[in-house]
Structure 1
Amino acid sequence: MSRFGIYLLTVGAFLAVTAELMLIGVTDLVASDLQVPISFVGYLVTAYALAFAIGTPIVITLTARLERKKVMLTAFFFFILANVASYWSPNFTVLMFARALLGLSGGVFAVVAMGSVSKLVPPEKVGSAIGTIMMGLSGSLVFGVPLGTVLSGWINWQFAFGVIAILSALIWIGILLMVPVIQGGERTPILQQLAVFKSKRIVSGFLITLFVNAGSQTVYTFLTPLLQKTIQMNTWMISITMFILGVFSMIGSRLGGVGTDRFGVTKIVYLSLIVHAIVLLFLPVFMVSIVTTIFVLSIWMCFQWMTSPAMQTYFVQQAPENPDLALSLNTSLTQLGVALGATLGGWIVNSTSDVMNTTWAGGWIVLLSIVAAWISFVDRTKQTV
């Protein structure tokens, strides 16, 4: 695959995650327009994540033998339709269904895209190739979430979904013309997929993904009200902050991919998880000014996104003959973690009436991912001796 083809898939991944995370920057506007409590916006994130987590492995399995470019184009077509539905949505119920379709279609596209690049680059470059795709995912924080916030403040939040639909249509055409044909693999039955859960190494690896995303999303879903409460940021400053955090998320994705190729999965995962947990646990201590808040949040975002390409590479290594399946299961756990974190964050905000409590809860959950990493990597070492 040409470098331009990889970039097209990266932009597609960028748009997929932008559609997922864009609501985070406008939680107050969505809640006000749809006349629902602000915690309900967290359920919109949950709807996307659950559809992604449950539906993606099923679709990946059913389409395993099909040519991958056709699968990507079909998934991205429904992604465009879902953005149009979000743009039109007159009430919370319609938006909830549109979010579920966004999750399913965006999930299938992202997983097949990552699996495709892993097939078309040398083994020693898989980490860097996946890291490039992950830059598209993290890049949504640089331009997508702030852009959604600005567009929502300029016109309305529905307009932002319309913009994504138009841009996605252009990328769809680019993929059609520039991405080569990629043959499918063998379809793996559901029962055979479930057999991976017999391995302690694989299960604990999945728990790393689950816990790190649950801990992060517990805080990130409600980052806007957190910034408004602690240092009284307005919408414009929040947009700038999201942009800065997005830059560091892209840096983290790139460092995670390159670092995995150079130093190995184990070192990168341990480093990123330890820093991630420490930052969340001590986040309230640093949220005393705009400068200190942005500084510590930037560290958080960088090391959070370092984990992802390392874990994607880890699961490709576990199943090199069928990377789509391995990536879909791991990515499903990512979205289950997002759903769990968004729901837990909403429950904490509702029950305690203090959004600051999401930080310590998220930090303790990330600590669990470190325990899972130790179990997975120790077992892996034993089996390779």
Structure 2
Amino acid sequence: MAESSPSRERGLLWLLALTQFTIIMDFMVMMPLGPQIMHAFAISPAAFATAVSAYSWCSGLSGLFAATYIDRFDRRRLLLVIYGLFAISNLVCALAGNFHMLLVARAFAGLSGGVLASIIMAIVSDIIPVSRRGAATGTIMTAFSLAAIAGVPAGIVLGAHLGWSSPFYLLAVLSVLIWLAALALVPSLRLHLQVGPPPLRQVLPELWRLLSNPLHLRAFGLTFLMLVSHMMVIPFISPVLVANHGIAPQQIAWIYMAGGAATFFTSRRIGKLADRYGKHQLFRIMALFSMLPVLFVTHLPDIPFIAIVAFFPVFMVALSGRMIPLQALLTTVPQAQNRGAFLSVNSAIQSLGNGCGAWLGGLLLSNTASGQILGYGLNGWCAVALVGVALWWVGRVQGQVMPPPVTVNS
């Protein structure tokens, strides 16, 4: 484990959090930019969904195969190389002159972004002692809230005023600045190389055993169900609001800010409730509760914009609230010695579920001659049906039996 001063350690953690911020913003900002991208390239909702899916599919596949090589290189060198490719992918996105070039650029961004999340957590594990690793992980996780509260709204405003490509120019510039900071701050991390990594002929069979374990398969199935349900709805909120309800693209920023701010304050509370009342129980409660907001947003009546802004925190809290106990439950499924590999594969399954959900959701939508989007209500019913299956399936996902606590007699 690398030794560093507290101030240098804090600086490195926030640098890694900013790196994670750009990765999350890169994925999230595509969805509210849907109306501008569909107009710029004259594409259908299904084609736009393919662009969203390309990122997720490639991110999932690259994250899965990263398990075979991520421990074979110096962490610093691998971070700089992959993050440099990520910056280039955003520049190519911004410069895309046609939809096919954008599609290739999004796939390339997914290939690099899917590996970066694993590298970041590997660096945290290398430099932070176990006793402080929870707090360090919390610092990294602030990237999600920052992306929802600041990053995505900024991208929406830029896209509305300067064109859909401007957020990707911004991401390319930010990535270059963060890359230069990483060049100066991230130390060489080679301790894991002192014990030679296992040969590929051992890595691949071990990965297969992890994937084929029935306990793991049931957990992966639950993850896939929930992410498909998520992405049949979320990528199309902005296009539907703009096309069907006349909301200006720049106003979408207020909706995401309201939802992100709400989850910032509720996420930790929901996590504590999962510990108190049980992860299975809270997941079922939040999953049931989420059905109503999902059906409402997919059958949205003509209501004032301020009412939509007021509703969106309920929607975001409901959807994030069912994922928090689910994630906590999944950490209990594998044995301790397999937990890292299991969670890496589960992260890849999440990305694949994102891609499949967006793709399937796009297939169900169509455009009228006036530009309105039809079929979104069916997306909502399909998403709710998948949640219903998950409510039954979660009972089949069981964690490891923990030893009883040791009591000390006074």
Which category describes the TM-score, using the shorter chain as reference length? 0.7 to 0.9
Partner residue of 1:237 out of 251, 257, 263: 251
Partner residue of 1:335 out of 330, 351, 366: 351
Where structure 2 has 5 or more consecutive residues not aligned to the other structure, the ranges are 368-372, 405-410
Secondary structure of 1:90's counterpart equals coil
Partner residue of 2:378 out of 350, 357, 368: 357
Secondary structure of 1:339's counterpart equals helix
Partner residue of 1:367 out of 388, 391, 398: 388
Quote the offset at 1:112 in angstroms.
Answer: 2.4
Secondary structure of 1:221's counterpart equals helix
Paired with 2:52 and 2:171, the residues of 1 have a C-alpha distance of 17
Paired with 2:307 and 2:360, the residues of 1 have a C-alpha distance of 26
Partner residue of 1:301 out of 316, 324, 328: 316
Q: State the number of aligned residues.
A: 383
Q: 2:312 is aligned with what amino acid?
A: L
Secondary structure of 1:23's counterpart equals coil
- Residue 280 of structure 1 is matched in structure 2 by 294
1:172 correspondence with 2:186:
no
* Deviating more after overlay: 77-86 vs 326-335: 326-335
Paired with 1:144 and 1:360, the residues of 2 have a C-alpha distance of 30
Quote the offset at 1:96 in angstroms.
Answer: 0.9
Quote the offset at 1:100 in angstroms.
Answer: 0.8
Given that 2:44 and 2:366 are in contact with CA atoms closer than 8 Å, whether structure 1 keeps it comes out as no
Q: 1:302 is aligned with what amino acid?
A: V
Paired with 2:133 and 2:38, the residues of 1 have a C-alpha distance of 41
Quote the offset at 1:173 in angstroms.
Answer: 2.5
Q: 1:273 to 1:199 in 2, by over 3 A?
A: farther
Instruction: Show CA shifts across 1:182-209 (max 9, x none).
Output: 4448456122112123333322221222
- Residue 97 of structure 1 is matched in structure 2 by 104
Structure with the higher helix share, 1 or 2: 1
Partner residue of 1:199 out of 213, 216, 221: 213
- Matches for 1:45-84 after TM superposition, within 5 Å: 45-84=52-91
Paired with 1:115 and 1:253, the residues of 2 have a C-alpha distance of 24
1:223 correspondence with 2:244:
no
Give the aligned CA root-mean-square deviation in angstroms.
3.1
Quote the offset at 1:84 in angstroms.
Answer: 1.1
- Residue 158 of structure 1 is matched in structure 2 by 165
Given that 1:135 and 1:254 are in contact with CA atoms closer than 8 Å, whether structure 2 keeps it comes out as no
Quote the offset at 1:70 in angstroms.
Answer: 2.8
* Deviating more after overlay: 286-295 vs 8-17: 286-295
Paired with 2:392 and 2:173, the residues of 1 have a C-alpha distance of 44
Given that 1:11 and 1:171 are in contact with CA atoms closer than 8 Å, whether structure 2 keeps it comes out as yes
Given that 1:125 and 1:261 are in contact with CA atoms closer than 8 Å, whether structure 2 keeps it comes out as no
Quote the offset at 1:125 in angstroms.
Answer: 6.2
Scaled by the length of structure 1, the TM-score of the pair is 0.86
What fraction of aligned residue pairs are identical, expressed as a percent? 22
Given that 1:255 and 1:306 are in contact with CA atoms closer than 8 Å, whether structure 2 keeps it comes out as no
Q: 2:346 is aligned with what amino acid?
A: N
Q: 1:295 to 1:199 in 2, by over 3 A?
A: farther
Quote the offset at 1:128 in angstroms.
Answer: 5.4
Paired with 2:86 and 2:279, the residues of 1 have a C-alpha distance of 32
Scaled by the length of structure 2, the TM-score of the pair is 0.81
The structure with the larger Rg is 2
Q: 1:261 to 1:5 in 2, by over 3 A?
A: farther
